Structure 1
Amino acid sequence: MTGRSIFLLAALVGGAILPVQVALNTLLRRYVGEPMQVTFISYLAGALASLAICILARYPLPVVASLSQTSWWMWVGGCLGTFYVWSTIFATPKIGAALALALTIAGQMVAALFLDHYGAIGLVRYPASPTRIVGVVLVVLGVSLVAYVKA
């Protein structure tokens, strides 16, 4: 496996588990009630799992001096993740997992294209070439098929 392959595989597997997460969270909503309550449970379980992995892997605690050098907006990632999890729990029962995830993927692709193009938020700059733009357009067209084609 090449050096890049492990990163490609990690991204692919990470994407493949999202429908499972959405299905589990949607099922949990039937027992818990509100999407934000399920979001809290999901993040609590994730935080505990992350803590356990850090302890088992013997990762050191972050250095307070390093954390104090960050900007407030760097901590917003968890809030954005909360919104993502909530939105899928909220939408999936009404539009289905395939369409909910297709829409999130389309949104991710459009936003990622802009972030890459401008090298925003500390990312390495990858220009929005015509090929990359066509790829994102094809994703959006695919979402349209998931949304509007009736069996």
Structure 2
Amino acid sequence: MQITLYLIMGIIIGMFFPIQASISARLSSYSKTPLTASFIAFSLGTLILLVINLIIDPIGITVGIDFSYPLYVFIGGAITGVGFNVANIILFSKLGASITTLVTVTGQMIVGILIDHFGWFGVQANPVTITRTLGVVIMIFAISLVQPKKKKDLTIASQEEKKDGKIIWVILGVLAGFLPPLQTAINGKLRVATGSILGATFISFFVGTIILATLILITQRRLEFPLYDTEKKRIPIWTYIGGIFGIFILTGNIILLPVLGSVLTTMIFLLGQMIMALIIDQFGMFNLQKRKIDSRRIATLVLMMIGIIFVKFL
């Protein structure tokens, strides 16, 4: 029963990913760089978490921190998180959305298996088995099934893609997929170092904010906070709240990793993402175009659940 509750929690948290992505995409349309939306989300998350920690658990971000842990424990989660964000921006322009999603998910599965098998970062070891491997393969196949096959998806980079060599970007995409499981595992270690889930989440957000601010200052020379669109109309207030969902996502990662392991945590999040993506498409939420749920997407959901069953219950 307890494991079922954790799985449900993982699905719900996974559903926050497309919501946050949709909000950030809307905010990005008003700024010069997609990093601005991430910076605003991280900044808001940092402020909210600071207030919550000071009220509920101030020790977790002050004297309760064990600084005997290696430096990567305190900054690694933020670096990998921001790194994946930047990598996605580049990969989308080189490979398109479909291939980027497929190769990064493949990378996530590979590293998730390694983290679980060897018990890296203090995660409970869960050796590779035939059923776990088959479950991962089913999950990757399910993700590939739902990706559109239209040529449009590959024309974003056009001639430049051929010049750079698509295979190189595919390899880099797989490597970029290594980052989210590493982020989750490192933040799990940070939880131990701080003795606080909220403290670990705050530190990760705070470091991420600094990194993003630095990147924007290097590339844009200044930080921007968009308030109006091109027609001088006020930007909807909801476009600024992506960081709130980010708090739930990161906190959920820290909670679920020790219980579910790296592979299952990633898979259950992906299932939640797919469910919410279908809901967003079906109802045209966040002013996006409506898309009816088709049989291919239903098959994808079924296959994803079968993959999870293979990994956890067989």
Q: TM-score range by the shorter chain?
A: 0.7 to 0.9
Check if 1:30 corresponds to 2:29.
yes
Aligned to 2:8: 9
* Closer, same or farther: CA 44–102 of 1 in aligned 2, 3 Å: farther
Displacement of 1:15 in angstroms is 1.1
Distance 2:104 2:51 in 1: 29
Bigger Rg, which one = 2
Distance 2:91 2:67 in 1: 37
**134-143 or 65-74, larger mean C-alpha shift:** 65-74
Greater length-normalized contact order (CA 8 Å, ≥ 6 residues apart): 2
Aligned to 1:107: 107
Aligned to 1:61: 59
Instruction: Output one character per residue of 1:62-82: Cα deviation in whole Å (capped at 9) or x when no partner.
Output: 354743111011121011111
Instruction: Output one character per residue of 1:105-147: Cα deviation in whole Å (capped at 9) or x when no partner.
Output: 4432222111101111111101111111011111222232233
The alignment partner of 1:19 has SS state of helix
Q: Structure 2 length as normaliser, TM-score?
A: 0.41
Distance 1:100 1:55 in 2: 39
Instruction: Output one character per residue of 1:19-67: Cα deviation in whole Å (capped at 9) or x when no partner.
Output: 11111111111112212222211211121222233244x1132354743
Does the aligned pair in 2 maintain the 1:29–1:89 contact within 8 Å? no
Instruction: Output one character per residue of 1:82-109: Cα deviation in whole Å (capped at 9) or x when no partner.
Output: 123344455668845x775555444322
The alignment partner of 1:61 has SS state of helix
Q: Which amino acid aligns with 2:128?
A: A
The CA RMSD measured in Å over matched residues stands at 2.8
**66-75 or 13-22, larger mean C-alpha shift:** 66-75
Distance 1:40 1:84 in 2: 14
What does 1:1-151 align with in structure 2 at a 5 Å threshold?
2-56=1-55, 58-62=56-60, 63-64=62-63, 66-75=65-74, 76-88=76-88, 95-96=96-97, 103-147=103-147, 149-150=149-150
Question: Identity of aligned pairs, percent?
Answer: 24
* Closer, same or farther: CA 72–18 of 1 in aligned 2, 3 Å: same
Distance 1:16 1:23 in 2: 12
The alignment partner of 2:126 has SS state of coil
* Closer, same or farther: CA 18–64 of 1 in aligned 2, 3 Å: same
* Closer, same or farther: CA 106–20 of 1 in aligned 2, 3 Å: farther
Uncovered stretches (5+) of structure 2, i.e. residues with no partner: 151-295, 297-314
Q: Structure 1 length as normaliser, TM-score?
A: 0.79
Distance 1:54 1:115 in 2: 30
Distance 2:59 2:89 in 1: 32
Distance 1:114 1:7 in 2: 22
The alignment partner of 1:125 has SS state of coil
**41-50 or 110-119, larger mean C-alpha shift:** 41-50
The alignment partner of 1:32 has SS state of coil
* Closer, same or farther: CA 47–115 of 1 in aligned 2, 3 Å: same
Distance 1:53 1:103 in 2: 37
* Closer, same or farther: CA 24–102 of 1 in aligned 2, 3 Å: farther
* Closer, same or farther: CA 25–101 of 1 in aligned 2, 3 Å: farther
